[in-house]
């Protein structure tokens, strides 16, 4: 029988949600039995494949690059999961929203820098005016809150999703 395909994507987040994914420990082997992991920062695949069954998206949509990526991921994914508080609410990346992009970049790259101050427009993806939760940009099917979501929550949600069920996230909390 063909296994469902699973992807994970990292937008503007600290990678803590992916670290919690790894905290499933030996249950990762069970997930690998239940699904083909076809794209993730944890594996060496460069291009997001077509027809992905389940994708966990960590992080807010903060840059032009994030925007391009999440639209492509949405087009190619059956069940899209907002994975963690940054994806669900913008959380930490959203703290820059009241500041504005220009003052933010000047503060970070000019005012607080003593050696070669300057804003790197060519090598850093351009920021969007605000960091947005994923569902403000594309349709999201399932929300997994937590900063990060616990390994237990991720495991139980994945088992349900890979078996075609909507996970019960009643006990899930924002933050910790
Ligand atoms: S939700 Fe928390 S752990 Fe996950 S990316 Fe955001 S800050 Fe990091």
Band of residue 58 on the pLDDT scale cut at 50, 70, 90: very high
Three-state secondary-structure class, residue 29: helix
Q: Is the CB of 144 under 6 A from ligand 1?
A: no
Strand pairing report for 61-63 and 127-132 = antiparallel
pLDDT at 41: 96
Q: Is the CB of 125 under 6 A from ligand 1?
A: no
Question: Quick one: average pLDDT of 161-168?
Answer: 94
Three-state secondary-structure class, residue 21: helix
How many angstroms separate the alpha carbon of residue 70 from the centre of ligand 1?
17
How many angstroms separate the alpha carbon of residue 171 from the centre of ligand 1?
18
Residue 149 contacts residue 17 (beta carbons within 8 Å) = yes
pLDDT digits (tens, 9 = 90+) for 91-145: 999 999 999 999 999 999 999 999 999 988 778 899 999 999 999 999 999 999 9
pLDDT digits (tens, 9 = 90+) for 83-105: 999 999 999 999 999 999 999 99
Q: Which atom of ligand 1 is nearest to the CA of 19?
A: 3
pLDDT digits (tens, 9 = 90+) for 41-53: 999 999 999 999 9
How many angstroms separate the alpha carbon of residue 21 from the centre of ligand 1?
12
In angstroms, the CA 171 to CA 128 distance is 33
Q: Is the CB of 5 under 6 A from ligand 1?
A: no
Cβ contacts of 45 within 8 Å, gap of 6 or more: 38, 39
Of 157, 62, 147, 144, nearest to 101 by C-alpha is 62
Q: Is the CB of 147 under 6 A from ligand 1?
A: yes
Q: Which atom of ligand 1 is nearest to the CA of 20?
A: 3
In angstroms, the CA 34 to CA 11 distance is 25
Question: Quick one: average pLDDT of 20-26?
Answer: 98
In angstroms, the CA 84 to CA 82 distance is 6
How many angstroms separate the alpha carbon of residue 46 from the centre of ligand 1?
23
In angstroms, the CA 51 to CA 75 distance is 9
pTM summary value:
0.95
Q: Which atom of ligand 1 is nearest to the CA of 13?
A: 5
pLDDT at 142: 97
In angstroms, the CA 88 to CA 1 distance is 34
pLDDT at 176: 72
Residue 138 contacts residue 80 (beta carbons within 8 Å) = yes
In angstroms, the CA 85 to CA 91 distance is 6
Q: Determine the number of helices (DSSP H) and then strands (DSSP E) in the chain.
A: 6, 7
pLDDT at 1: 75
């Amino acid at each position: 029988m063909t296994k469902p395909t699973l992807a994970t994507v990292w937008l503007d987040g600290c990678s803590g949600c992916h670290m919690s994914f790894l905290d499933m420990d030996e249950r990762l082997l069970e997930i690998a039995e239940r699904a083909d992991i076809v794209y993730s920062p944890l594996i060496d695949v460069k291009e997001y494949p077509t027809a992905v069954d389940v994708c966990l998206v960590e992080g807010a949509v903060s840059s032009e690059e994030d925007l391009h990526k999440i639209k492509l991921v949405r087009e190619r994914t059956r069940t899209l999961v907002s994975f963690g508080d940054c994806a669900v609410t913008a959380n930490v990346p959203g703290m820059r929203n009241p500041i504005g992009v220009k003052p933010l970049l000047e503060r970070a790259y000019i005012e607080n820098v003593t050696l070669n101050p300057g804003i790197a427009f060519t090598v850093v993806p351009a920021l969007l005016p605000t960091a947005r939760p994923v569902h403000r940009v594309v349709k999201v099917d399932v929300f997994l809150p937590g900063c990060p979501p616990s390994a237990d929550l991720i495991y139980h949600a994945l088992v349900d999703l890979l078996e075609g069920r909507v996970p019960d996230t009643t006990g899930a909390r924002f933050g910790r």
